[in-house]
Structure 1
Protein backbone atom coordinates (compact mmCIF):
# COMPACT_ATOMS: atom_id res chain seq x y z
CA UNK A 1 0.00 0.00 0.00
CA UNK A 2 1.36 3.42 -0.99
CA UNK A 3 0.56 6.34 1.28
CA UNK A 4 1.22 10.02 0.65
CA UNK A 5 2.62 11.94 3.59
CA UNK A 6 2.21 15.72 3.79
CA UNK A 7 3.80 17.61 6.65
CA UNK A 8 1.04 19.31 8.61
CA UNK A 9 2.56 20.57 11.87
CA UNK A 10 5.92 20.81 13.60
CA UNK A 11 5.64 20.96 17.38
CA UNK A 12 8.25 22.62 19.58
CA UNK A 13 8.29 21.72 23.26
CA UNK A 14 8.98 25.07 24.94
CA UNK A 15 9.24 26.63 28.36
CA UNK A 16 7.35 29.85 27.62
CA UNK A 17 4.51 29.35 25.13
CA UNK A 18 3.38 32.97 25.39
CA UNK A 19 6.86 34.35 24.63
CA UNK A 20 7.32 32.18 21.53
CA UNK A 21 3.73 32.74 20.38
CA UNK A 22 4.43 36.48 20.52
CA UNK A 23 7.79 36.05 18.75
CA UNK A 24 6.45 34.03 15.81
CA UNK A 25 3.28 36.09 15.40
CA UNK A 26 4.95 39.51 15.78
CA UNK A 27 8.23 38.83 13.95
CA UNK A 28 6.97 36.52 11.17
CA UNK A 29 3.32 37.54 11.09
CA UNK A 30 2.08 33.98 11.69
CA UNK A 31 -1.60 33.84 12.66
CA UNK A 32 -2.47 32.21 15.98
CA UNK A 33 -5.19 29.69 15.06
CA UNK A 34 -5.48 28.00 18.44
CA UNK A 35 -4.31 28.74 21.99
CA UNK A 36 -4.98 27.17 25.37
CA UNK A 37 -4.08 28.70 28.75
CA UNK A 38 -0.38 29.38 28.06
CA UNK A 39 0.30 25.65 27.57
CA UNK A 40 -0.43 25.33 23.85
CA UNK A 41 -0.52 27.52 20.76
CA UNK A 42 -0.90 26.64 17.10
CA UNK A 43 0.26 29.10 14.46
CA UNK A 44 -0.39 29.09 10.74
CA UNK A 45 2.94 29.18 8.87
CA UNK A 46 2.23 29.13 5.15
CA UNK A 47 1.29 25.61 4.06
CA UNK A 48 2.05 24.16 7.49
CA UNK A 49 1.63 24.95 11.15
CA UNK A 50 3.90 25.41 14.15
CA UNK A 51 2.70 24.06 17.46
CA UNK A 52 4.10 25.37 20.73
CA UNK A 53 3.60 22.89 23.57
CA UNK A 54 4.73 23.67 27.11
CA UNK A 55 7.35 21.21 28.32
CA UNK A 56 6.62 19.09 31.38
CA UNK A 57 6.97 20.44 34.91
CA UNK A 58 10.15 18.40 35.46
CA UNK A 59 11.90 20.59 32.88
CA UNK A 60 10.51 23.94 34.04
CA UNK A 61 13.27 25.30 36.26
CA UNK A 62 12.81 29.06 36.11
CA UNK A 63 15.54 29.58 38.74
CA UNK A 64 18.12 29.00 35.97
CA UNK A 65 16.97 32.06 34.01
CA UNK A 66 15.94 32.19 30.36
CA UNK A 67 15.55 28.75 28.82
CA UNK A 68 17.67 27.99 25.74
CA UNK A 69 17.16 24.65 24.09
CA UNK A 70 20.06 22.87 22.40
CA UNK A 71 18.45 21.10 19.47
CA UNK A 72 19.57 19.32 16.35
CA UNK A 73 16.44 20.45 14.50
CA UNK A 74 16.12 23.39 12.13
CA UNK A 75 12.91 24.69 10.59
CA UNK A 76 13.28 26.23 7.11
CA UNK A 77 11.10 29.02 5.72
CA UNK A 78 11.08 29.74 1.98
CA UNK A 79 10.90 33.48 1.42
CA UNK A 80 10.19 35.54 -1.67
CA UNK A 81 11.87 38.78 -0.66
CA UNK A 82 15.49 39.88 -0.48
CA UNK A 83 17.15 37.78 2.23
CA UNK A 84 19.71 40.48 3.05
CA UNK A 85 17.02 43.11 3.68
CA UNK A 86 14.92 40.67 5.73
CA UNK A 87 17.96 39.68 7.80
CA UNK A 88 18.64 43.35 8.57
CA UNK A 89 14.97 43.92 9.45
CA UNK A 90 14.96 40.94 11.83
CA UNK A 91 18.21 42.04 13.50
CA UNK A 92 16.73 45.53 13.97
CA UNK A 93 13.94 43.80 15.93
CA UNK A 94 16.47 42.05 18.16
CA UNK A 95 16.43 38.64 16.47
CA UNK A 96 19.76 36.81 16.55
CA UNK A 97 20.73 36.18 12.92
CA UNK A 98 23.80 34.59 11.35
CA UNK A 99 25.45 35.61 8.06
CA UNK A 100 23.82 34.96 4.68
CA UNK A 101 25.52 32.07 2.87
CA UNK A 102 25.25 29.87 -0.17
CA UNK A 103 27.12 26.97 -1.75
CA UNK A 104 28.64 26.36 -5.17
CA UNK A 105 26.08 25.13 -7.70
CA UNK A 106 23.25 25.73 -5.18
CA UNK A 107 20.29 27.87 -6.25
CA UNK A 108 19.49 29.41 -2.87
CA UNK A 109 20.68 31.98 -0.36
CA UNK A 110 20.44 30.78 3.26
CA UNK A 111 20.44 32.57 6.59
CA UNK A 112 19.98 31.02 10.04
CA UNK A 113 18.39 32.71 13.03
CA UNK A 114 17.47 31.74 16.56
CA UNK A 115 14.19 32.19 18.43
CA UNK A 116 14.12 33.27 22.11
CA UNK A 117 14.46 29.67 23.35
CA UNK A 118 17.31 28.72 21.01
CA UNK A 119 15.35 26.92 18.28
CA UNK A 120 17.16 27.45 14.97
CA UNK A 121 15.23 28.59 11.92
CA UNK A 122 16.52 29.20 8.41
CA UNK A 123 15.44 31.64 5.74
CA UNK A 124 15.80 30.30 2.19
CA UNK A 125 15.58 32.54 -0.88
CA UNK A 126 16.00 31.40 -4.46
CA UNK A 127 18.82 33.24 -6.26
Structure 2
Protein backbone atom coordinates (compact mmCIF):
# COMPACT_ATOMS: atom_id res chain seq x y z
CA UNK A 1 0.00 0.00 0.00
CA UNK A 2 1.26 3.48 -0.86
CA UNK A 3 0.13 6.49 1.15
CA UNK A 4 0.85 10.22 1.01
CA UNK A 5 0.01 13.19 3.20
CA UNK A 6 -2.37 15.43 1.28
CA UNK A 7 -3.95 17.72 3.87
CA UNK A 8 -3.07 19.26 7.22
CA UNK A 9 -6.04 20.56 9.24
CA UNK A 10 -5.55 23.26 11.86
CA UNK A 11 -8.44 24.03 14.22
CA UNK A 12 -8.62 27.80 14.75
CA UNK A 13 -10.85 30.40 16.41
CA UNK A 14 -10.79 32.92 13.55
CA UNK A 15 -10.65 31.28 10.13
CA UNK A 16 -10.46 34.61 8.26
CA UNK A 17 -7.55 35.97 10.30
CA UNK A 18 -5.52 32.77 10.04
CA UNK A 19 -6.32 32.54 6.32
CA UNK A 20 -4.94 36.07 5.83
CA UNK A 21 -1.89 35.22 7.95
CA UNK A 22 -0.91 32.36 5.61
CA UNK A 23 -2.32 33.65 2.33
CA UNK A 24 -0.78 37.13 2.36
CA UNK A 25 2.93 36.33 2.75
CA UNK A 26 2.90 33.04 0.85
CA UNK A 27 0.30 33.79 -1.87
CA UNK A 28 -1.48 30.48 -1.24
CA UNK A 29 -4.60 30.06 -3.36
CA UNK A 30 -7.99 29.14 -1.91
CA UNK A 31 -9.37 25.84 -3.23
CA UNK A 32 -12.39 25.46 -0.90
CA UNK A 33 -14.14 27.88 1.42
CA UNK A 34 -17.15 28.16 3.70
CA UNK A 35 -17.04 31.70 5.10
CA UNK A 36 -15.88 31.87 8.73
CA UNK A 37 -15.97 28.06 9.10
CA UNK A 38 -13.57 26.32 6.72
CA UNK A 39 -10.94 27.17 4.12
CA UNK A 40 -8.43 25.09 2.20
CA UNK A 41 -5.25 26.69 0.90
CA UNK A 42 -3.09 25.02 -1.76
CA UNK A 43 0.37 24.85 -0.18
CA UNK A 44 2.47 22.97 -2.69
CA UNK A 45 2.29 19.21 -2.24
CA UNK A 46 -0.17 19.44 0.63
CA UNK A 47 -3.35 21.37 1.40
CA UNK A 48 -3.45 23.58 4.49
CA UNK A 49 -7.02 23.43 5.81
CA UNK A 50 -8.32 25.79 8.49
CA UNK A 51 -11.35 24.57 10.42
CA UNK A 52 -13.19 26.70 12.97
CA UNK A 53 -13.02 25.17 16.44
CA UNK A 54 -16.13 23.45 17.74
CA UNK A 55 -18.81 25.25 19.74
CA UNK A 56 -17.43 23.90 23.04
CA UNK A 57 -14.08 25.64 22.49
CA UNK A 58 -15.27 28.96 21.05
CA UNK A 59 -15.70 30.64 24.43
CA UNK A 60 -12.24 29.69 25.67
CA UNK A 61 -9.71 32.53 25.54
CA UNK A 62 -7.02 32.49 22.89
CA UNK A 63 -3.41 33.51 23.49
CA UNK A 64 -3.45 36.41 20.99
CA UNK A 65 -3.87 37.05 17.30
CA UNK A 66 -2.86 34.29 14.86
CA UNK A 67 0.87 34.20 14.36
CA UNK A 68 1.64 36.22 17.47
CA UNK A 69 4.65 35.44 19.61
CA UNK A 70 2.31 34.23 22.36
CA UNK A 71 0.64 31.73 20.04
CA UNK A 72 3.97 30.57 18.63
CA UNK A 73 5.28 29.94 22.12
CA UNK A 74 2.18 28.02 23.23
CA UNK A 75 2.06 25.40 20.51
CA UNK A 76 4.10 22.43 19.42
CA UNK A 77 2.78 22.75 15.87
CA UNK A 78 5.35 24.04 13.40
CA UNK A 79 4.73 24.43 9.67
CA UNK A 80 7.73 24.35 7.37
CA UNK A 81 7.64 25.81 3.85
CA UNK A 82 10.32 25.48 1.16
CA UNK A 83 11.07 28.38 -1.16
CA UNK A 84 13.36 29.17 -4.06
CA UNK A 85 13.21 32.93 -3.39
CA UNK A 86 15.48 35.13 -1.30
CA UNK A 87 14.67 33.86 2.20
CA UNK A 88 16.39 36.68 4.15
CA UNK A 89 14.62 39.24 1.94
CA UNK A 90 11.25 37.52 2.39
CA UNK A 91 11.81 37.44 6.17
CA UNK A 92 12.56 41.16 6.19
CA UNK A 93 9.39 41.91 4.17
CA UNK A 94 7.30 39.92 6.65
CA UNK A 95 8.88 41.76 9.58
CA UNK A 96 8.10 45.13 7.98
CA UNK A 97 4.50 43.92 7.57
CA UNK A 98 4.34 43.34 11.33
CA UNK A 99 4.71 39.55 11.33
CA UNK A 100 6.93 38.09 14.06
CA UNK A 101 9.53 35.97 12.31
CA UNK A 102 12.28 34.26 14.29
CA UNK A 103 15.92 34.18 13.31
CA UNK A 104 16.82 32.06 10.31
CA UNK A 105 18.34 28.73 11.28
CA UNK A 106 20.90 26.85 9.22
CA UNK A 107 21.84 23.22 9.70
CA UNK A 108 24.87 21.41 8.30
CA UNK A 109 23.98 19.32 5.28
CA UNK A 110 20.88 21.34 4.40
CA UNK A 111 20.71 24.15 1.84
- Scaled by the length of structure 1, the TM-score of the pair is 0.73
Query: Which of 85, 88, 92 is the matching residue for 2:89?
Result: 85
Pair 58,83 (structure 1): closer, same or farther in 2 beyond 3 Å: same
Residue 63 of structure 1: how far off its partner (Å): 6.3
Structure 2 match to 1:106: 109
In the TM superposition, residue 72 of structure 1 has moved relative to its aligned partner by: 1.3
CA distance in 2, matches of 1:62, 1:44: 29
* Deviation at residue 64 of structure 1 after TM alignment: 6.1
User: Which runs of 5 or more residues in structure 2 are unaligned?
Assistant: 66-70
In 2, distance between residues paired with 1:23 and 1:64? 16
2:21 is aligned to 23
Q: Which of residues 29, 34, 37 is equivalent to 1:36?
A: 34
In the alignment of these two chains, the number of paired residues is: 105
Displacement over 3 Å in runs of 4+: 62-69
Where structure 1 has 5 or more consecutive residues not aligned to the other structure, the ranges are: 108-125
Note if 1:7 corresponds to 2:5: yes
Give the number of the structure whose residues are more often helix, by fraction: 2
Please, what is the CA RMSD of the aligned residues?
2.0
What is the SS of the residue equivalent to 2:91?
helix
